[in-house]
Amino acid sequence: MTSLSFLNLIVFGASLSALSAALTWLLMKRVRIIDTPNERSSHTNPTPRSGGIAIVASFYIGLLGLWLLSENSVFEQAYFWAFCGAALVISAVSIVDDVAGLGFRTRLGVQIACAALVAAFGIVVEHISLPGIGIWHLGWVAYPLTVVWIVGLTNAFNFMDGIDGIAGTTAIVAAGFFGAILFLQGSSVLYLVSALIVWASLGFLLWNWQPAKIFMGDSGSQFLGFALATLAVMAGCFDESQMSLYVMPLLFFHYIWDTSYTLIRRWRAGERITEAHRSHLYQLMNRLGASHARVTSVYMAIGVLQGLGALVLVNLDGSQRVLVFLPFIALQVMLTRAVTQRARQAELIV
């Protein structure tokens, strides 16, 4: 595929996604699936939700096109269709959650079942490289570890979809860098799957940037988190690129940090961690006066830096790759201290 035809593909896909988002906006308004502001909301106006339907629809339409036009053997593999089916189930159940509301245990149970399904088809983290140890083959631990990784990133992406544009920009940056690295490493198809995520998110972002006309909802955020987490494992164990399993955690390190820190802080404060709240770091930045667009831009800039770090990471020996995380850990520590100090002074958190 030439660079011009690839660019045309992205433009067509983004246009398709934007059109799908417009149709979803009309549908959600007609059937009154509206997110009404409350004390936990970061918005002030009633806004249609479940816009992630547009992302999912655009992704699968693009995937159908790839299947029809490509002769790559990946489309003959059961593991690939297990991934496609499981991601679709995640989205379908999330649509029900957006409309009717499902309990935390139900959502978690579906996520675990879908992650276990793809693991059963061989999409597993078989080994990792550690400094001073080398390659550690995980054996049976590979299966529960894979489920924890997929379910963890699925929920992290969902938790971080709380202000205008943040989830869409993160998906574009992370999938964009991941796809570029896959291409440079010799991937023949999975980089195009990453491109599908980019185009689907790009078109939706036109409707979700501040002030958002439609929200992504669980139908989009959980689908994107699940798809990207599973794609990372597939690239490591099946793709020609033999992608390092450190790449996707680095691309999402700001999300993983924010989610993990917030869960631990709320647990230590005696709060129920399964209840909705507005105390993620990005939400505190917004409540302290930064606009949705500004906070999203900060997280997007960090995401780009992490993407550049991932480009460095793939050119290092396995045992050295974990060292690339150190500057980003330092960055997050400084950002966390600055935000939480101001938030405590403003009595936003304890």
Binding-site members for Mg(2+) are 158, 218
Q: Are 66 and 204 in contact (CB under 8 A)?
A: no
- The DSSP secondary structure of 215-233, one letter per residue, reads --HHHHHHHHHHHHHHHHH
Beta strands in 94-228 (DSSP E): 127-130, 134-137
Evaluate whether 209 touches 18 at the Cβ level (below 8 Å). Answer: no
**Cis? peptide before 46, omega within 30° of 0:** no
Q: In which residue are the tokens 């929200």 written?
A: 215
3-class secondary structure for 234-294?
HHHHCCCCCCCCCHHHHHCHHHHHHHHHHHHHHHHCCCCCCCCCCCCHHHHHHHCCCCHHH
The sign one gets for the Cα dihedral 145, 324, 338, 210 is negative
Provide the annotated binding site.
158, 218
- Name residues whose C-beta falls within 8 Å of residue 210's C-beta, 6 or more positions apart in sequence: 163, 164, 165, 291, 292, 293, 296
Helical pair 104-120 and 142-159, crossing angle rounded to 10 deg: 140
Q: How many CA atoms lie within 13 A of 55 on its CB side?
A: 38
Q: How far is CA 71 from CA 19, 67, 75, 190, 203, in A?
A: 29, 8, 8, 13, 27
* All residues at 6 or more sequence positions from 32 whose CB lies less than 8 Å from its CB, including other chains: none
